[in-house]
Amino acid sequence: MKKGFILLAIFFTSCNALCAQDNNPVSEWATAAAANFRFASDVVYLKANGYECKLDIIAAGDPGVARPTFIYIHGGGWSFGSKDDVKLVGLPYLAKGMNFVNVGYRLASISLAPAAVEDCRCALRWVYLHAKDFGVDLTRLVVSGGSAGGHLALMTGMLRPSDGFDNLCAGSEDLDLKVAAVVSDRGPIDIPEILERHGPSGGWYAERWFGSLPNRLALAQRLSPINYVRPGLPPILMVHGDSDEWVPYKQAVRLHEELTRAGVINELLTVPGGTHTFTPEQKLRIQETIFRFLRQQKILLK
């Protein structure tokens, strides 16, 4: 639990501006959080290839009260990064009374594609199985991520059990894993196109994920969110800069158009001049848009 105490210390000392935006006295909000929040660190949700996949979860209150829950998946080109790098992403959602789940998964150095997708589906299943333990409202689940995490969020929210990525998950329960919304921040949409890019801004990071696997393009097709568009998907918010040097902005435009044709509620927030790294001002606008989107979908009530 040592990591948990460290995170909460950072959490409380970092929330001044956030709490002020919500018109709550910082001392009142932090004191209530200290008294009511429950934190579980490095929970093993899957064991695969000799590796333990872990997540953190912060419950924003009494587990007897079901709350909306924000599941976040870190980026890093499926090859780099860690859930420990993005712990503070949860601050705005905790301040809104949402639970926060921070997901780690197998990187390319541990297991090549499609391991990361399988892991994130299993993390979602873990949330389903432990919803009552942490006060999770399964009708108000949001899955989100940045960059490669945005891709994994889309796959997690768009896949069905019949698509064949849930076979490693723990438990024998027959669960139809669904989320109430997906928020993809700069997520790759068409993986073959990423693989075929060249140059310093090309698909080298995708090459790491696929390695020398046989039938790479066929697998890349199976791992492309654009190929899972259909009526009945959860509402999807995409965030993308129109000057993104790593993930083509046109992919987000294409997904927006396909989702609209399929009758799926969706929105594309275009960040003018936005690259793959957003400025603080751009991040603030993005956060405001996410909250507005979640209110529109009745996931957040205020």
**Residue range 117-122: mean pLDDT, rounded:** 98
19-to-92, 160, 211 alpha-carbon distances in Å = 9, 38, 45
pLDDT tens-digit readout, 138-170: 999 999 999 999 999 999 999 999 999 999 998
Residue 2: is its pLDDT beyond 90?
no
Q: Cβ-count burial of 75 within 10 angstroms (0-12 exposed, 13-18 middle, 19+ buried)?
A: buried
3-class DSSP state of 54: strand
Q: Which residue has the higher pLDDT, 81 or 28?
A: 81
Using pLDDT thresholds of 50, 70 and 90, give the confidence band for residue 36: confident
Question: What gap in Å lies between CA 97 and CA 300, rounded to an integer?
Answer: 9
Residue 6: is its pLDDT beyond 80?
no
Whole-number pLDDT of residue 253: 98
Question: What gap in Å lies between CA 27 and CA 12, rounded to an integer?
Answer: 9
**Residue range 236-247: mean pLDDT, rounded:** 96
Closest CA to 202 of 194, 190, 192: 194
Residue 29: is its pLDDT beyond 80?
no
Residue 222: is its pLDDT beyond 50?
yes
Q: What is the mean pLDDT of the chain?
A: 90
- CATH number of this structure's domain 41-296: 3.40.50.1820
Question: Tokens at residue 119, please?
Answer: 């892991």
Whole-number pLDDT of residue 4: 45
pLDDT tens-digit readout, 51-94: 999 999 999 999 899 999 999 999 999 999 999 999 999 999 99
What's the first-to-final CA gap in the chain, in angstroms?
32
CB of 280 closer than 8 Å to CB of 263? no
Whole-number pLDDT of residue 8: 47
The DSSP secondary-structure symbol of 279 reads -
Residue 19: is its pLDDT beyond 50?
no
Whole-number pLDDT of residue 204: 87
Residue 15: is its pLDDT beyond 60?
no
| Percentage of the chain modeled with pLDDT above 90 | 79
Question: Tokens at residue 241, please?
Answer: 């800069």
Q: Which amino acid is at 10?
A: I
Whole-number pLDDT of residue 200: 59
Using pLDDT thresholds of 50, 70 and 90, give the confidence band for residue 198: low
CB of 78 closer than 8 Å to CB of 148? yes
